[in-house]
Amino acid sequence: MTHVPERYARQARFHGIGVEGQSELMEKRVLVVGLGALGAAVADQLVRAGVPLILVDRDYVEVTNLQRQTLYTEQDALAETPKAIAALERLRAINSDVELDARIADVSWEWLRTLSPVDLVLDATDNVDTRLLLNDFALERGIPFMFASCVGAYGMNYTIMPGEAPCLRCLMRHLPLAGQTCATAGVVAPIVQHVASRQVVETLKFLTGRLEKLERRLLIEDMWENQSQRLDVARLVDVSCPSCQTHEYPSLVSNRQQTALLCGRDVVQVRRSIEGLEPIAHQLERADIAVKRTPFTLEWRWRNHRMLLFLDGRVLVHGTDEAHVAVAIVDECLGV
């Protein structure tokens, strides 16, 4: 009989998983994209369950995250720790046996191409562009992709199995996303935990090979209005879909955006190629700009804008929602 570490005894006791299922879980690898509320919740549950993870997030911890992003502390917000770093530290403290890889990065096609094989992709992002990129990446690699979204007290789950339409691109025009974000419409923690739990249970089913148990419908829940729906979406296949039908994968293109507005936060992200943070710090200091250093970021102020530069060359310009303004400010600080 296969040996299962004691910490997983109750899970292995569960009839749906068993000792064999537990061994399967520990040998698979799941990519979690985004470490906001949803990513933190699924990573917490999956790490406790013994599932090896690759985690990726581009952002840092802020005080407004603490109400729902359960892996982070006040100290993380104070230090503006990148979420990938803060999450990794916390998850390692929860389960030091499980294999974890956490990256500070903005997910792009270039970045995904460098990844070693994963068995499954979990959506914990906050934007349509990245979701469609993950949809195309998963379809092209022939692995499942679990879409999830929450805003307010409202959430959705849908699992895309390769070779089984419709995909997320087919469904986009049918989904009631309506451009709302957590920054504009708010969000309460219970819907996040609910949607995350659905993602995790489907992950456990898939990784243990219990495909007949998978939920194939689109699930919609409004926890405040006490409404839930399970929609059979099989007939919503777009026969000309370039992702699941003609396999052109339009989102798998090079660095789609040089700038991006971050989830309605009055922050614009601008990209620059840099060779380390220290040369930039010296350059700013020579111009009499005070620089705050962490191992992962440089922070400074310029014309009332708070600027944060990451090692991968992304600059977050706070206090504007206009791309051309942000680009001009970065040009002023770093040179064109």
- Say whether 182 is catalytic: yes
| 241 in contact with Zn ion (CB under 5 A) | yes
Nearer to Zn ion, 77 or 168 (CB): 168
Nearer to Zn ion, 35 or 133 (CB): 133
Query: Which residue reads 């006490």 in tokens?
Result: 226
Rounded to whole angstroms, the Cα distance separating 57 from 32 reads 9
Element (H, E) at 311: none
| 243 in contact with Zn ion (CB under 5 A) | yes
DSSP label of 60: B
| 38 in contact with Zn ion (CB under 5 A) | no
Choose which of 51, 153, 167, 218 interacts with Zn ion (CB under 5 A). Answer: 167
Which entry of 182, 241, 244, 333 is annotated as an active-site residue?
182
Nearer to Zn ion, 245 or 294 (CB): 245
Q: If DSSP states are collapsed to H, E and C, what string results for 11-52?
A: HHHCCCCHHHHHHHHHHCCEEEECCCHHHHHHHHHHHHHCCC
Region from 26-34, 159-167, 271-279, 280-288 binding Zn ion, contact rule CB under 5 A:
159-167
- Tokens of residue 323, six digits: 């791309």
CB 29 within 8 A of CB 52: yes
Least distance (Å) between residue 110 CB and Zn ion: 23
User: In this structure, what are the phi and psi dihedrals at residue 239, rounded to the nearest 5 degrees?
Assistant: -65, -15
Query: Which residue reads 């419709």 in tokens?
Result: 166
Nearer to Zn ion, 203 or 243 (CB): 243
Residue numbers 169-188 binding Zn ion by CB under 5 A: 169-170
| 149 in contact with Zn ion (CB under 5 A) | no
The residues binding Zn ion (CB under 5 A) are 167, 169-170, 241, 243-244
Catalytic residue ranges: 182
